Amino acid sequence: MPEATFHFPAGFLWGTATAAHQVEGNNLNNNWSAWEAEPGRIIFGQKSGLACDWWGGRWKEDLDRAAEAGQNAHRLSVEWSRIQPRPNRWDENALDYYRQMVRGAVERGLTPMVTLHHFTDPLWITEKGGWENEETIQAFSTFSRKVVDALKEYVTLWVTINEPNVYAYSGYLEGVFPPGKHDFNTTLRVYTNLVKGHAAAYQAIHGAQPQARVGIAAHYRGFVPARSWFPGDAAAANIQHTLFNQFFPRSLMDGTLNFLTRREKLPQAARTQDFLGINYYTRDRVKFNLFAAGKGFGRNEYASDAELSGTGYLANEPLGMFDVLKWGLQFQVPMIVTENGVEDADDRMRPRYLVQHLHQVWRAVNFNWPVRGYFHWSLLDNFEWERGWTQRFGLWGLEPETQLRRKRSSADLYAEICRENGISSDTVRRFTPELMPMLFPG
């Protein structure tokens, strides 16, 4: 049997990712707490509730688990509504609590990456129109400076906005996120203000911490033609790719908003990403549909032979990981995989998914592409937005009612990869033997 290891570069970041509202519990002053209280917004009427009880202190034991599993980094977010509960009020106790968290990460040997905006807005921001209102740009910049001033002793890696494309699309076009609107022009206005908000925050962060490394976490969804021979499918896939994937990070490279028929110069946004964070989960096959203008004239589906997750939400498409890293080269900055994972309560698909996707990351690194780290989503099960508690992404399982944690086999698999700084044939043989002929032939 072959014995070999796909090694990653020295200093490669190995971590997991979490987000404040999904793990802290009892966030009661933001737009998502209000959204959860509205009937029909969350599947089965579920609520985040206590979440993973991180605000109650259980972040300590969970970061212990991450460190003991060989991880050397952790991505977390801060909750704007805790830090600035009203426009003219800052909660220094909340800031101190986050300072304890990031110091605790460093003390455990985990490099912290902090996200400033991960889907949630304070209620006072939404009362003023949220990101539809240009005043939010300055408010976000001020908030960002406040957080960086408080945490910069321990943090140099910053994500300004998580998945701005998902935030705008899901909240203002598809309507499954707050505020639940369905308007293209409003979506475009929110997109534009998010670009401006990132640019303003970028300058504020570097003003407080010149050595900071600042980027976004862009959600990349793979779109490929369902029928390679049909030009309509290729055109629809390209439209969806341009609107969903390309628009936001491109504007941070050249300072140009190019959204189909709308073109606007935003010079303040040019060259405002020190790295590109990439959230990748799956990819779609796109079929041309003349009546689907709101979805880029395409109807999306998974390949008929795709391996699907427990609820059918995700397909295992590891080649899409290589594709997104190749796509990311155009921005000419280092890349970090800021999220990648699969919902799998039984932990049957996750081992294959994890190994296959990390092998594609290794392929990219082997081409000397500037990939600096990988953060698995997620450390433990958490509240998955409009999907509530129905999807389990954690290396550790969680029972929300009892707060009981249960380690899944994938946690041990990922731990071996982190400690080895690579994927060994021995690890693959023991955890995913079915992948041996593909990864280690002969």
CB 16 within 8 A of CB 376: yes
CA-wise closest residue to 382 among 61, 51, 76? 51
| Dihedral pair phi/psi, residue 336, rounded to 5° | -130, 130
> Which tokens sit at 199?
């640019």
- How confident is the prediction for the chain on average, in pLDDT? 96
Give 113-138 as a DSSP string. Answer: EEEEESS--BHHHHHTTGGGSTHHHH
Helix (H, G, I), strand (E, B) or coil at 427: helix
Nearest to residue 117, comparing CAs of 163, 169, 171, 162?
162
| 3-state SS class at 64 | helix
pLDDT in tens, 354-369: 999 999 999 999 999 9
What whole-number distance in Å separates Cα of residue 360 and Cα of residue 318?
7
Beta bridge partners of 217: 162, 277
What pLDDT sits at residue 272? 98
> Tell me, what's the pLDDT at 1?
63
Nearest-angstrom CA–CA distance, 282 and 302: 9
Q: Which domains does the chain have, with CATH numbers?
A: 5-439 (3.20.20.80)
The whole-number pLDDT of residue 291 equals 79
Which residue ranges in the chain fall short of pLDDT 70?
1, 260-261
CA distances from 215 to 77, 186, 285, 386, 417 (A): 14, 25, 29, 26, 26
From the list 210, 128, 116, 209, the residue with the least C-alpha distance to 163 is 116
CA dist., res. 170 & res. 329, Å (int): 27
Q: Note the pTM of the prediction, 2 decimals.
A: 0.98
Bridge-based pairing state of the strands 13-17 and 73-77? parallel
The span from the CA of 244 to the CA of 404, in Å, is: 38
Q: Which residue is associated with the tokens 């964070």?
A: 277
What does the pLDDT read at residue 321? 98
Token pair for residue 421? 């700084």
Specify whether the CB–CB gap between 310 and 346 falls below 8 A: yes
Report the alpha-carbon distance of residue 64 to residue 273 in Å, rounded: 31
List pLDDT tens digits, range 113-146: 999 999 999 999 999 999 999 999 999 999 999 9
pLDDT recorded at residue 119? 98
